[in-house]
Amino acid sequence: MERALITGVAGFIGSHLAAELLSLGWAVTGLDVRSPVSDPVAGENLAELIGDPRFQFVAGDVRGGDLAMVCEGVRAVFHLAGLPGVRRSWGDRFGDYLACNVLGTQRLLEACVATDVPRLVFASSSSVYGPGTGKPSKESDLPLPLSPYGVSKLAAERLCLAYANQRGAATSGRGTGNRGTCRRTRRPGGCSPLKTGPARPDGGCGYSSALTPCASSWTRPAPGTSWPGTPASTRRPASWSLMRTGNHAGW
């Protein structure tokens, strides 16, 4: 049984991605600073996963600890952990964004290199595009981040591709065989129950980089059903998009 590592697993996207991987027969290690025991949102998101013997939760921060340990024996890494928030990234908090989104990503990449992880999918952000034109963004659009947060996510993208393009690199990226990618996520259109998650008071870095559940009155739909107010055929969580990103030959 192949194993995947998901950083930021306690977030909205991370928990859905973990559930999808388990349904496909993978074993999953989930890393997050938010414990399902002490954090109500994490507990709700991971409630369906904790009882599965193929799911292992590890409390940890991408900025510290032994990341190589959680990468041992992993076939693919989905890196969703990050510090979100455009407005909060201005001013003296930018150091937190650098530590989490850039240096945390670099530490994870080093761990992947040390343990010969063959594939990594990095969840970037639509904030790297800047204000946009009102039309759907394309992967080929020129990045023009207009916030420190967007700059930190774009820097992390470039780090991933730099590591992947090293001669003899074990961990692949989009530029080397299309076996891995930097996926730019945004709040899916029409999905009003979602919002960017709040920052942790302690500055911890274990958030899914894009989305967390909003008001407690909204509940997660049952597997295979549609999202509130939106036809199932037109709405998919970003975890589905990440899975499609990773659905290349050899996975």
Amino acid at 159: L
Paired strand residues for 56: 29
**175, 162 in Cβ contact below 8 A?**
no
Q: By three-state DSSP, how is residue 113 classified?
A: helix
Which residue in the list 129, 149, 163, 207 is annotated as catalytic? 149
Report how far apart, in Å, the C-alpha atoms of 65 and of each of 19, 69, 165, 179, 191 are: 25, 9, 26, 28, 35
Q: By three-state DSSP, how is residue 182 classified?
A: strand
Listed in sequence order, the residues at least 6 apart from 117 whose beta carbon sits closer than 8 Å to its beta carbon are: 5, 71, 74, 75, 76, 77, 111, 170, 171
Question: Alpha carbon 159 to chain centroid distance?
Answer: 15
Question: Which ranges in the chain belong to alpha helices (H)?
Answer: 12-23, 40-50, 67-71, 94-97, 104-114, 148-164, 238-245
Please say if 149 is a catalytic residue. Answer: yes
Catalytic residue set: 149
